[in-house]
Amino acid sequence: MTNQFSTIRDLLRYAVTRFNEDKLFFGHGSSNALDEAAYLILHTLHLPLDKLEPFLDARLLPDEINALLDVIQRRSVQRQPAAYITHQAWLGDYHFYVDERVLVPRSFIAELIPDQFSPWVSDPDSVLNILELCTGSGCLAIMLADAFPNAHVDAVDISADALAVARRNVDDYELQDRITLIESDLYAAVPDKKYDLIITNPPYVNSASMDKLPKEYQIEPRIALAGGTDGMDLVRHIVAGARERLTRNGVLVVEIGNERVYAEQAFPTLELTWMTTSAGDDMVFLATADKL
């Protein structure tokens, strides 16, 4: 098949057709077949990711064509998320190393961090200790350390494999002195101290939804997605243990995706504040220590 292609334009057209024919799911960064194909092609050829046009009619070497066909095959047939193919993912302006040991970074909490959870955190400089549960790749811990310059972040995950990925990202951002990675089942091995913020994007997909996830999501670690019958298994433990670990004015922030109905059923007496994100007011809730 190699001799049927000569330029990037040829491979781009072919990739878009394959991605559309195979009805790929785009939920890990790109939103359509063209953007995904362009990203994969430019990354594979080590070209600038924001400069497709100048290279469209560049003639490719046979080994370059073979490399691109392999990438297209992995994405279209094996349904591997693009981030697992390139080992790169972005949240806002931040980029992270990822592989199959962790979820591809995506969190609506990431949209709230640059504003330092205003107005619920009135003095960001006074935030000294942050606990991030279910850290995965460490992406939110890194963003939190950047947004709260006086804070130390304890980043927790039950998976040693995930923490190995997080270690690589923490080292890449040279935040070893400000982020401590802890292997723990939620609070079990967390230091006995008070936190100004507890942040978490835990597994929250309910059982019925797990069975319907696109194949791209099913390739990700199940332990990082599955939240039990109503999706709230871990969230219940997180909320239950937050009060004794928060400072008097501490704040808990929890992402629960599309599970708002289940969250409100799980905590009928808890005063939840639903935070506004690009997906609306249903994805992330906040609770203050005095309300827990």
CATH number assigned to the domain comprising residue 246: 3.40.50.150
Q: Is residue 276 one of the residues assigned to a domain?
A: yes
Q: Is residue 44 one of the residues assigned to a domain?
A: yes
The whole-number pLDDT of residue 27 equals 84
Q: Is residue 97 one of the residues assigned to a domain?
A: no
The whole-number pLDDT of residue 239 equals 97
In whole angstroms, give the CA distance from residue 226 to residue 203.
5
Residues 233, 167 within the same domain: yes
Q: Domain of 57: which CATH number?
A: 1.10.8
What is this structure's pTM?
0.94
Total domains present in the chain: 2
The whole-number pLDDT of residue 177 equals 98
The whole-number pLDDT of residue 1 equals 63
Residues 29, 119 within the same domain: no
Domain boundary among 54, 86, 118: 86
CB under 8 Å to 148, separation ≥6 — which residues?
A: 116, 124, 127, 130, 197
The whole-number pLDDT of residue 3 equals 72
The whole-number pLDDT of residue 2 equals 59
- The helix/strand/coil state of 152 is strand
* Domain hosting residue 16, numbered range: 2-86
The whole-number pLDDT of residue 214 equals 94
> CA 5 → CA 31, 64, 102, 155, distances in Å?
26, 11, 35, 47
Residues 123, 179 within the same domain: yes
**Which ranges of the chain have pLDDT less than 50?**
none
Residues 24, 113 within the same domain: no
Residues 167, 44 within the same domain: no
Residues 151, 261 within the same domain: yes
- The helix/strand/coil state of 43 is helix
Q: Is residue 95 one of the residues assigned to a domain?
A: no
| Angle, CA 58 vertex, CA 57 and CA 59 arms, to 5° | 110
Residues 111, 40 within the same domain: no
